[in-house]
Amino acid sequence: MSIIQAEHIMETHPEHARAPHDSKYANGSAFIQDHYCSVDEAGIPITDMGFLHADAAYDVVSVSRGHFFRLDDHIERFELSCEKFVLTNPYSRAETAEILTNMVKLVGVKDAYVWWCVTRGTNSNGDRSDLAGFQNKFYGFVIPYMYIAHDAERSRGFDVIVSKEFIRIPARSVDPTAKNLHWMDMKLSLGEALLSEKDWSVLTDEEGNLAEAPGANIFFIKNGEVYTPDSGCLEGITRKTTLELCAELGLPTHVEKVTADQLRDADEAFITSTAGGIMPINSVDDIVFGGTGGPGPLTATLHNLYWEKRWDGWLATPVDYDTPVNTESK
Amino acid sequence: MSIIQAEHIMETHPEHARAPHDSKYANGSAFIQDHYCSVDEAGIPITDMGFLHADAAYDVVSVSRGHFFRLDDHIERFELSCEKFVLTNPYSRAETAEILTNMVKLVGVKDAYVWWCVTRGTNSNGDRSDLAGFQNKFYGFVIPYMYIAHDAERSRGFDVIVSKEFIRIPARSVDPTAKNLHWMDMKLSLGEALLSEKDWSVLTDEEGNLAEAPGANIFFIKNGEVYTPDSGCLEGITRKTTLELCAELGLPTHVEKVTADQLRDADEAFITSTAGGIMPINSVDDIVFGGTGGPGPLTATLHNLYWEKRWDGWLATPVDYDTPVNTESK
């Protein structure tokens, strides 16, 4: 089964055509604490602890064909992330949804990558240890939709490595279920993958249990059953979506401790992310799944079903591009 | 022995009086990629990976009585941090020193907290995995000197806890010898300390070996000998300084694996940081060192020697406040 060329469709299909927008938002829009601006102008104050200490929670939701996907789920997860890090979103859930929607409208894109966060902010009394003394701040931006894996890469499948140099930051250090800015382990494992001429990496914990890939959850399929780690990873919305799609297809799923060895012994594998959906893996540590190149058949089915259902309006929230945004108000 | 009231001296002694400065730099100065500005105006572009992924190396050096302390050591460590994270400082070491010096001159303070970093930056080709495709960026700021522990706190000694909830991010995830923005484990352990009405926290690795405190190295003294962890922590410049002061005082030092149990059984303890120097600990997990409150005698000696030698010009680089900075050039 061939992979839906989602990126090509987004670039060419009339339903994805960009709505009229102010040229200042050509590259994207942003919301900085209390006002909208272009992404090019958007700055984080250099003394905000969100920058100095990666002291923040964030989330990313996508828009395709002018509809958010699972917007409520993303906002719900974001609020839980904030709670785990003792952060308070200065905006209500409804206000957050409004800000995200307005940012999309300003850019006019029908396919959008929507990023937002709440940071610790700055502390007027200068006492770093007094977390309650900080005024938490909201920042966000919207840019045209971004792919971890492009059409060509999804069609042939990623070649990945299990990182030998790095383990994922453990939950007892930084809770991975609270979406956070602590990425250095993942970034450097990407460098390790590139050095061996591979596309992406997967990290384990120190005992070799699979954790997650940079910005993505890891899945594999063995004898028609689907496996993904139960811990040490973000509880991805695309991961949750994939488990639901598996149920719809009658594929048994196992959310449990799984090892890198099990991944290497699998029949198929893929990663999932808001930035790219379901992305097939071709090989891991030079072991080509199924012995032949390309996405496995169940992976391809899941991949295509994901885009078909999304474009069919599943769990979608429409963006009304016709009503103008008042950038003077919040 | 009483603790030198360094903060009080800095606020009142004529050698610490602030030099003339443009009022726009009242709160501090900054350098953003290629230009100087006030710290209030300084912003990090929201899509810079230094913010989005804590993908950066940084360092902090201090100025007291108009002199940098160990400036070359800090710049040397910073360059090593960059190397470990595959980052390239766009400025040479001499240019870096010049930028740091100019930022101090703009603020006019004789006692300064000097922060700078190099981030991954943004990638024009949009490929996140291609680390070499990013243009690394330099950012810095200078504010009046900042204390982790004020005079009163240093005089009575910090009450600290060994965190039960959090372990320090392990070196196999993010190398702590490369000074980095990954602080959430440390920040939340401070919250844990505050909940038990303590001043500061210390983190261990998962086996109970001491790692470091938020922004500081941990030391303890047992039977006149000084101990500090050999791994799992930043190789602090104040830590290095303290080891040298111990040698000067004839105190044997042990840089080795040490446990939280050894700390609890110690005679004295302290933390060290550029932001505050040598800071005495009064108690750990409610165990008061030496059975009586206040800094231990060797700790007090080290504390005072640190400030005496600094103000005597030890390893100092003077700042020439009289020559104006050309803020139009780099």
Give buried/exposed letters for B101-135 (b at 16+ CB in 10 A, else e): bbbbbbbbbbbbbbbbbbbbbbbeeeebbebeebe
Two tokens, residue B162: 């060994």
Q: How far apart are CA A102 and CA B120, in angstroms?
A: 29
Residues of chain B within CATH 3.30.470.10 domain(s) are 6-146
A55:B139 CB<8 A: no
pLDDT band at B284 (very low <50, low <70, confident <90, very high): very high
Residues of chain A within CATH 3.20.10.10 domain(s) are 151-311
Contacts of B187 in chain A (CB under 8 A): 49, 53, 55, 120, 131
Work out the average pLDDT over A9-34: 96
Q: What is the 3-state secondary structure (H, E, C) of B139-156?
A: EEEEEECCCCCCHHHHHH
pLDDT in tens, A298-313: 999 999 999 999 999 9
Question: Nearest CA of chain A to the CA of B225: how many Å?
Answer: 30
Q: What integer pLDDT is reported at residue B128 of this predicted model?
A: 66
Work out the average pLDDT over A232-243: 98
pLDDT band at A65 (very low <50, low <70, confident <90, very high): very high
Site from B51, B55, B87, B153 to mutate, A interface, most A CB atoms within 10 angstroms: B51
The percent of residues in chain A predicted with pLDDT above 70, rounded, is 98
Q: Residue B47: name the closest of A62, A213, A85, A113 by CA.
A: A113
Give the residue from chain A lying closest to B28, CA to CA.
A47
State the CB neighbour count (10 A cutoff) for residue A291: 7
pLDDT band at B127 (very low <50, low <70, confident <90, very high): low
Q: What integer pLDDT is reported at residue A128 of this predicted model?
A: 66
A46:B32 CB<8 A: yes
The H or E element spanning position B167 is: strand B158-167
Two tokens, residue A13: 């299909």
A52:B172 CB<8 A: no
- Residue in B45, B174, B181 closest to A52 by CB: B181
Give the residue from chain B lying closest to A58, CA to CA.
B52
Mean of pLDDT over chain B:
95
Q: What architecture (CATH level 2) is domain B6-146?
A: 2-Layer Sandwich (3.30)
Degrees to nearest 5, angle at CA A262 with A258 and A268: 110
Contacts of B148 in chain A (CB under 8 A): 128
The domain covering A151-311 belongs, at the CATH homologous superfamily level, to D-amino Acid Aminotransferase, subunit A, domain 2 (3.20.10.10)
Interface predicted TM-score (ipTM) of this complex, two decimals: 0.97
